[in-house]
Amino acid sequence: MTTNKEQSFIKRLMKSLTKANELGQEDKVMTDHDYDGIRELNNVLPPWWLYGFYITIIIGIFYYVQVFTNSEEYSQDKEFVNDVEQANKDIEAYKTAHPELFKTDVVLFTDAENLAAGKTIFEATCLACHMADGGGGIGPNLTDDHWILGGGIEKIYHTISEGGRPGKGMIPWKGSFKPMQIQQVASYVISLQGTTPANPKASEGDIVWTKQ
């Protein structure tokens, strides 16, 4: 049960925080403003709101002085450069910790094991656009010697890894497959060149490349 003393303390606290007037004493803060019989009260803003408003003004002034005057300590340019340097360090550290994810030597596989692995990935992800036999559908024909973004293991690897032309639907697969897997798929795509698909799509692209 709340005692009268506690009630009095809570009441005084709320009074100090809000500066609210007691009910029934509106005439003390009544203004002369009158509109259609409705008069306006001149209640003061609550102190907590005013203090918060003053604090935001102080912070705003501090921010403006420190940032927009390009002080040496709070320069946005310096902060950006530091963030980029730290990000580059983090990237290099990650590459060092996971070298298998950043293999740069792209090799054409011709052995049955790697080509079979590439075929499995191709059939799981690529046939919707290129058809199971590589003849092309939404995507281009992979069995001819015309290439939109270039032929050869390195360029095909890059296309699979980074994605096709903007707005054409082929997404970057580097986030889904490891470099080894992308090499396997690229090698399998090259193995399709010269084969005879059931319903080949017309050749696309101005780059002509034929596997050796």
Q: Tell me: the pLDDT tens digits for 103-120?
A: 667 889 999 999 999 999
Angstrom distances, CA of residue 81 to CA of 59, 78, 85, 87, 140:
25, 5, 6, 10, 43
Of the chain, the percentage scoring pLDDT greater than 90 comes to: 41
β-partners of residue 35 are 38
Q: Tell me: the pLDDT tens digits for 118-131?
A: 999 999 999 889 99
pLDDT at position 70, please?
A: 60
Cα(116)–Cα(207) distance, integer angstroms = 27
Q: What are the domain boundaries of the chain?
A: 4-67, 112-208
Instruction: State the pLDDT confidence band at 100, using cuts at 50, 70 and 90.
Output: low
Q: Tell me: the pLDDT tens digits for 125-149?
A: 998 899 999 999 999 999 999 999 9
Query: What kind of architecture, by CATH, is found in domain 112-208?
Result: Orthogonal Bundle (1.10)
| Residue 34, amino acid | D
Cα(132)–Cα(183) distance, integer angstroms = 18
Q: Tell me: the pLDDT tens digits for 86-95?
A: 999 998 888 7
CB atoms within 10 A of CB 164: 17
In terms of DSSP bridges, do strands 38-41 and 146-147 run parallel, antiparallel, or are they unpaired?
unpaired
Nearest to 145 by CA among 193, 185, 195, 189: 193
Phi, then psi, of 34 in degrees rounded to 5? -140, 130
Average pLDDT value for the chain = 84
Q: Tell me: the pLDDT tens digits for 153-177?
A: 999 999 999 988 887 879 999 889 9
DSSP code of residue 29: G
Q: At what angle do helices 153-162 and 179-192 cross, to 10 degrees?
A: 120
The alpha carbon of residue 66 and the mean position of all alpha carbons in its chain are separated, in whole angstroms, by: 30
Cα(57)–Cα(77) distance, integer angstroms = 24
pLDDT at position 104, please?
A: 65
Looking at the chain, how many residues does it have? 212
